[in-house]
Structure 1
Amino acid sequence: MLIYSEKQSPRLSYVIDFISAELLTSPAAITTDREVFRHFEGVKINYANESFEEGCFRISPTPILFETGIRDFPITCFELGGHKAFFATGSDDLGFDIFAAIFYLVSRYEEYLPHQKDEYGRYSHTASLAFREGFLDQPLVNNWLEYFREKLQERFPAAIFRRKNFSFVPTYDIDMMYAYKAKGWKRNAGGLVRSILNGEWASAAERISVLRGKARDPYDAYEWLDALHLYCRVKPVYFFLVAQQQDGVDKNIPTSVKAFQQLINYYASAFEVGLHPSWRSSVSADDKIMLEEKEWMEVIADVPVVQSRQHYIKFSLPEGYERLIRCGIRKDYSMGYGTINGFRASVASPFFWFSLAENKVTNLQVYPFCFMDANAYYEQKLNPQQAYTELMKYYAAVKKVRGCFITIWHNNFLGTDPGLKGWRDLYEIFMKEDAYWDAGA
């Protein structure tokens, strides 16, 4: 594929590289030479305000890909091919500037503009175009790419396009290794007293049974998950909160506990592991806390730690991703909301982060998720049956476009906590009956 443009730009190159990885068997090229473009044989796209003879596909450009700054573009959505679109271009061959629209969503352009924040100081999903226009539950970019491929195939019947395979990546956040075990006598004594004072006799009795070795800790889902992954033939990614101070929402087991260290070491030897940077690290004025957590985990895991997901999905652009890069993180799984399920970047494919502040692509690869158990339970107030319906909706949407389906689960949801009854069963049903390995992908 060859794209003609009146001038080159980092933003245009970024989008074309992304589309190449999704649709093409070899990278597309961009030229500013009219004669080279005229004599090219193959898929030709005229991305300029100039006209050529018949034989090329035309997309009228909007300014965003040729600018270096950030400004508030007026966005008007309309229906096209059964999906929302914006940056309308009138009567050209596609009807909208797909290159500019993809860039706007995937770069998270709107998150650099003045916006509403939620109670935790994060970008609020209610401020997003996807939420306001009703496409937060869709991998819209992937849908556009399917529409684009169909239109190009009509114009260039001999062209061969890439057909990506659907993939499923189950991921887990270990925010609290155990409910009772390994917490030390002070924390357990305090918890026991609180349960008794509140009349929570079942919880008090459970704590005593676990500490006496008479019952399994309700958050201990590890062996069960190992068996489930083996049965389903999937490779998970585990993210561990290794906060050096147990404070606020950073309440995992102390990193000095041998059982915690052994769990990290075990999973690092069997699967992929990543850092779950603490809340303190995300609000710190410098990189010191995150670097300490990363270095500690690398010592225990005995592997380089290059993957992360922010605790509480606490990050802002561009500062959050800039910090990850400085700390040596190369893959991040935080691209989603901590308040609602859906597609924050409107895409179900990994992509490299483009820094609008520096107007260049980085080496940080972003893996967007679209479903998290905590969102379904705490934020959306869904019961297990309703959550299963939503999970399957997202699974079907991603599978349809042969995308990458990434979910987040927490070990406490998958254990035996009576307060979360039904969630473990939900997940087992999904894993065994409906997911990737059984889909004929």
Structure 2
Amino acid sequence: MLLIYTHKISPRLKYVFKHVCTRVLGVKVDFTTKIETFIAHDSLKMSYTKQQLGNEFFVKSHDILFEQGLSDLDINIHDWENTKCFFYNGDKSAIPFDIFAASFYLLSRYEEYLPHVKDEFGRFTAAESLAYKHGFLNQPVVDIWSYKFKDALQTQFPEFKFPEKNYTIKPIIDVPSAYNYRLKGIMRTLGGLIKDIFRFRFKNLYIRFAVILGFMHDPYDTFKYIINRQRYTKFKFLFFFLIGDFSTYDKGISPNKKKFVSLIKHVADYCMVGLKVSYFAIEDTVILKKEKLRMEDILNTRLKASRQSFSRLNLPESYRNLIELEIQEDYTMGYVDFIGFRAGSCTPFLFYDLDYEIQTPLKINPYHLMDHALLKTNSLLDKKKVLNELIHNIKQVNGEFISVFHNYTFSDEKEWQGFKELFNIILESTNEA
């Protein structure tokens, strides 16, 4: 156990030390404000305060972990060996930056509470983030800093054995619509036919008729392939099905269709299944509750995980709504069009509510890659290079790689050529030494 001496034990301090020390490094922590207790402790220990007590392992503290609410922070980014960091704390500290304050800033999504420009869907964009502006979005900096902290501790306490942690993956399959042509109902099918005719999309017209008449497989129906891939990996895939009502933004299959319900049940026999929260349910707990109960009725078990449509997040309200309905995990934290680490970490963490200054029970599982972001890279070779670099960065800190692919990504459509191979690279990345 690591004992931390500090002048004040605040909720922020407890939250971030538990993430860095326990979740990332696997070491339990405890806190004290009593010097006698600190001196008496004969194992791993450090002080986190303004002034060093003696010759102990000391990290000079930044004020952010002892404050409440938001303040106008002066953030200066510095190079630190192979990475970048902020909240420089001088030469007397065992490490040159207050990584705990910096980690809290990123994990709490402090910057998303500050004034910023949103995109057309009301989302916080990568371009607005500190990580993007200063070129460290592609690194899991919180985990990198944690391991630098571990190395410094190990030098001071060479006898102590840190537990080992392994690289893992969690493949996400997002299903906004299980089928492209099937189970769409008469009106939607007629509408699609008319659009195809007026836009001269005769190939689409042919495929639509062939699928509806049963002569051809629906291009979005890739579930057999995905489940087959699941059988050959020890890591469970997590599917998110949209079962919300039809709207301007959500054009999935009606949950009243028995064949669609049967599909969800079939997938749940092999993989984990969560709820893809519809666009309007994100900010309306009445609709969200209806969708949650609907999914629980299909699965015949309590809903554990959710993911928001269009990766929309409005902090802190979006997460509070999930907490209110006792949803335990969320998989929305990431950027649709950029690869990288929105919260600076590849280790799942708990949501900290900055308004209420409390650690909540909601587990945030940040994703680091969505298939759409890879479309920005031209050749398949370049896509593989980008993907392998991302995997390498996560492996360096024994993190968890969460990727988001869609059911249509595995279709034979030209846009998604080579993506099966990219998905297999992720699955096979756990087999390598």
Question: What is the TM-score with the length of structure 1 in the denominator?
Answer: 0.94
Give the superposition deviation at 1:147: 0.9
Write out per-residue CA displacement over residues 32-59 of structure 1, whole angstroms, 9 at most, x where no aligned residue. Answer: 00111122212221112233232x2111
- Residue 425 of structure 1, CA deviation: 3.7
CA distance in 1, matches of 2:307, 2:384: 24
Matches within 5 A, 1:167-182: 167-182=168-183
Amino acid at match of 2:239: Y
Aligned partner of 2:389 in structure 1 is: 393
**1:406 partner SS:** strand
Residue 439 of structure 1 aligns to which amino acid in structure 2?
A: E
Where 2:231 maps in the other structure, the secondary structure is helix
The code of the aligned residue for 1:376 comes to: L
1:164 counterpart SS class: coil
What residue number does 1:341 align with?
339
Corresponding position: 1:265 with 2:265: yes
In structure 2, what residue type is equivalent to 1:39? A
Please tell me whether residue 360 in structure 1 is matched to residue 342 in structure 2.
no
Please tell me whether the aligned partners of residues 241 and 278 of structure 1 are also in contact (alpha carbons under 8 angstroms).
yes
Q: Could you tell me which residue of structure 2 aligns to residue 222 of structure 1? A: 223
CA distance in 1 between counterparts of 2:24 and 2:309 reads 33
Distance in 2 of aligned mates of 1:241 and 1:390: 29
Q: Which residue of structure 2 lines up, in the alignment, with residue 138 of structure 1?
A: 139
Per the alignment, residue 150 of structure 2 pairs with: 149
The 5-angstrom pairing of residues 236-255 of structure 1 reads 236-244=237-245, 246-255=246-255
Question: Counterpart in 2 of 1:301?
Answer: 299
Shift of residue 100 of structure 1?
A: 0.7
* Mapped contact 1:45–1:59 kept (Cα < 8 A): yes
Q: Aligned in 2, Cα 1:210/1:418: closer, same or farther, shift over 3 Å?
A: farther
Percent identity of the aligned residues? 34
1:326 corresponds to: 324
1:435: which partner in 2?
Answer: 429
How far apart are the structure 2 equivalents of 1:82 and 1:279? 40
Q: Do the aligned residues in 2 keep the contact of 1:385 with 1:426 (CA within 8 Å)? A: no
Contact 1:219–1:417 (CA under 8 A) maintained in structure 2 = no
- Alpha-carbon shift at residue 20 of structure 1 (Å): 2.7
Alignment of 1:1-40 (within 5 A): 1-22=2-23, 24-40=25-41
Question: Partners in 2 of 1:85 and 1:423 — Cα distance?
Answer: 34
TM-score by length of structure 2 reads: 0.96
Count how many residue pairs are aligned between Structure 1 and Structure 2: 431
Q: Tell whether the 8 Å contact from 2:25 to 2:150 is kept in structure 1 after alignment.
A: no
What CA distance in whole angstroms lies between the structure 1 residues aligned with 2:378 and 2:402?
19
1:243 CA drift (Å): 1.1
Cα 1:384–1:288 shift into 2, 3 Å: farther
Conservation of the 8 A alpha-carbon contact between 1:4 and 1:30: yes
Question: Cα offset for 1:375?
Answer: 2.7
Trace 1:28-427 onto structure 2 (pairs within 5 A).
Answer: 28-54=29-55, 56-91=56-91, 92-244=93-245, 246-284=246-284, 287-377=285-375, 380=376, 382-427=378-423
In 1, the alpha carbon distance for the partners of 2:26 and 2:334 equals: 29
The Cα offsets for residues 155-174 of structure 1, whole Å up to 9 and x where unpaired, read as 11111112211110001111
Could you say if the C-alpha distance between residues 118 and 382 of structure 1 is closer, same or farther in structure 2, counting changes exceeding 3 Å? farther
| AA aligned opposite 2:186 | W
Q: Give yes or no for contact 2:197–2:205 (8 Å, CA) kept in 1.
A: yes
Distance 1:315 1:51 in 2: 41
Taking a change above 3 Å as real, the CA distance of residues 23 and 219 of structure 1, as seen in their structure-2 partners, is closer
Q: CA deviation at 1:150?
A: 0.8
- For structure 1, the residue ranges without an aligned partner over 5 or more in a row are none
**d(CA) in 2 for partners of 1:187 and 1:296?**
23
Partner Cα distance (1:324, 1:256) in 2: 24
Give the letter aligned to residue 146 of structure 2: L
Of stretches 162-171 and 389-398 in structure 1, the one that deviates more from structure 2 is: 389-398
Q: Structure 1 counterpart of 2:370, which letter?
A: M
Report the 3-state secondary structure (helix = DSSP H, G, I; strand = E; otherwise coil) of the residue aligned with 1:405. strand
Counterpart-to-counterpart distance in 1, 2:74 and 2:52: 27
Amino acid across the alignment from 1:366: I
Q: Deviations over 1:252-279 (max 9, x none)?
A: 0111111111111122233211111000
Q: Distance in 1 between matches of 2:421 and 2:202?
A: 26
Q: 1:366 to 1:179 in 2, by over 3 A?
A: same
Distance in 2, Cα, partners of 1:191 & 1:419: 21
Which amino acid is 1:73 matched to?
L
Partner SS, residue 270 of structure 1: coil
Q: CA deviation at 1:15?
A: 1.2
Which has the larger displacement, 334-343 or 143-152? 334-343
TM-superposed CA distance for 1:382, in Å, is 4.4
Cα deviation, residue 226, structure 1: 1.0
Q: Which amino acid aligns with 2:334?
A: G
Deviation at 1:195, TM superposition (A): 1.6
Unaligned runs of 5+ residues in structure 2 are none
Distance 1:419 1:94, change over 3 A: closer
Residue 8 of structure 1 and its aligned partner are, at CA, apart by: 1.0
Q: Distance in 1 between matches of 2:415 and 2:235?
A: 28
Give me the whole-angstrom Cα distance separating, in 2, the residues matched to 1:373 and 1:232.
20
| Secondary structure, aligned partner of 2:158 | coil
Q: Find the residue that maps to 1:276 and give its secondary structure.
A: strand
